[in-house]
Structure 1
Amino acid sequence: MGTAMRLAGRITDWNDDKGFGFVMPVGGGARAFVHINEFQRGSRRPLVGDLISYHPGVDARGRTNARRIRHAGQKTEAPRAPSRVPRAKLGLATLLASAAAAAFGLLPAVLAGIYIAMSALSYLMYRSDKIAAQSEASRTPEASLHLSDLLGGWPGALIAQQQFRHKTAKRSFQMVFWATVVVNLIAAAWLLRSGLFAALTGRIGG
Structure 2
Amino acid sequence: MTDLQYISAQITVDRFGSRRVLLQEYGLYLGMLALVMINVWTMIAFWEDKQCAIAGRRRTPEATLLNLAAIGGSPGAFLARHLFRHKTRKEPFSTYLQVIAVIQAGLLVGFFLW
- With normalisation by structure 1, the TM-score equals 0.39
Q: Distance in 1 between matches of 2:98 and 2:90?
A: 12
Gaps of 5+ in 2: 1-24
Aligned residues of 1:151 and 1:184 also touching (Cα < 8 A):
no
**2:89 matched to which residue of 1?**
169
RMSD: 2.3
The partner residue of 1:154 within 59, 74, 83 is: 74
Q: Distance in 1 between matches of 2:104 and 2:70?
A: 6
Instruction: Name the one with the larger strand percent.
Output: 1
Deviations 1:83-105, CA, capped at 9 Å, x for gaps: xxxxxxxxxxxxxxxxxxxxxx8
Greater RCO, CA 8 A, separation 6+: 2
Identity across aligned pairs (percent)? 26
Pick the structure with greater CA Rg.
Answer: 1
Q: Distance in 2 between matches of 1:111 and 1:182?
A: 20
**1:119 matched to which residue of 2?**
39
Gaps of 5+ in 1: 1-104, 195-206
Q: Distance in 1 between matches of 2:35 and 2:96?
A: 19
- With normalisation by structure 2, the TM-score equals 0.67
Aligned residues of 1:161 and 1:167 also touching (Cα < 8 A):
yes
Instruction: Name the one with the larger helix percent.
Output: 2
**2:106 matched to which residue of 1?**
186
Aligned residues of 1:119 and 1:153 also touching (Cα < 8 A):
yes
